[in-house]
A = this chain, B = another copy of it.
């Protein structure tokens, strides 16, 4: 089988082509732009062909969303680099901040991809899906829980608060990304959103780790 042969009756690797085409469409117009017909059209194939690889339109969207989720993981990883401080507590704190910064930066940079990544909102199992792992082999949710686990190991956070801390962090960052991307803040200038996001993330982390490099929350 010759991969990428578009001349033959059979495509070669239509599933990958549909995912790629769907991701391009999502970047442009979010999850709603990932229409089954538009995706097959862009892949040079008839609409019904998609049903050989995806059970429904929704499954195609979810698969494209998993790709976007992997890019979200990569954005977080990129914002976690350079945390080479000597103090492990500082490093752990910076890694948690990197999760928030990377999450918000991805939403602001690629609102369409962010939209489909959180489309339909995945279940708890999807939070560990291999397709959604970044370059370090971890999903965005795992990167968050890893950072919090480090804080617990260092004694900076009571272990009993790990789960609810993860939910609070995720809620705050996700809420901000939503408001800034498709909410009332969507018309605000980008630099202002960056500053607001950075302050929100740092305020949240300060609140989680009381007495540690406190800065104002707000």
Interface residues of A (CB under 8 A from B): 118, 120-124, 126-127, 141, 157-158, 161-162, 164-165, 167-168, 170-176, 178-179, 182-187, 196, 199-200, 203-204, 206-208, 210, 216-218
Complex Cα–Cα for A124 and B186 (A): 9
Complex Cα–Cα for A124 and B180 (A): 11
Contacts A184-B123, A207-B207, A207-B217; A171 near B168 (Cβ below 8 A): no
Complex Cα–Cα for A173 and B158 (A): 23
Residues on the B chain within 8 Å of A183, using CB: 118, 121-122, 174
Residues on the B chain within 8 Å of A121, using CB: 178-179, 182-184, 186
25 contacts between A and B (CB under 8 A): A118-B183, A121-B179, A121-B183, A122-B184, A124-B185, A124-B187, A141-B184, A158-B218, A162-B218, A165-B218, A167-B200, A168-B172, A168-B218, A170-B175, A171-B171, A171-B176, A171-B178, A172-B175, A172-B204, A173-B175, A175-B175, A178-B178, A204-B207, A206-B207, A210-B217
Q: How far is the CB of A162 from chain B (nearest CB, A)?
A: 8
In the bound complex, do residue B175 and residue A178 qualify as a contact, i.e. CB atoms below 8 Å apart?
Answer: yes
Dominant secondary structure at the A interface = helix
Contacts A174-B179, A217-B207; A200 near B168 (Cβ below 8 A): yes
Complex Cα–Cα for A122 and B151 (A): 38
Contacts A176-B175, A179-B171, A217-B208; A164 near B200 (Cβ below 8 A): yes
In the bound complex, do residue A123 and residue B218 qualify as a contact, i.e. CB atoms below 8 Å apart?
Answer: no
| Most chain B beta carbons < 10 A, residue from A158, A199, A206, A217 | A217
Given contacts A124-B185, A171-B171, 14 further A-B contacts (CB under 8 A): A121-B182, A127-B184, A164-B199, A165-B217, A168-B200, A168-B217, A171-B178, A174-B178, A174-B179, A175-B176, A175-B178, A203-B207, A206-B207, A207-B207
Complex Cα–Cα for A46 and B204 (A): 51
Complex Cα–Cα for A127 and B184 (A): 8
Complex Cα–Cα for A171 and B217 (A): 13
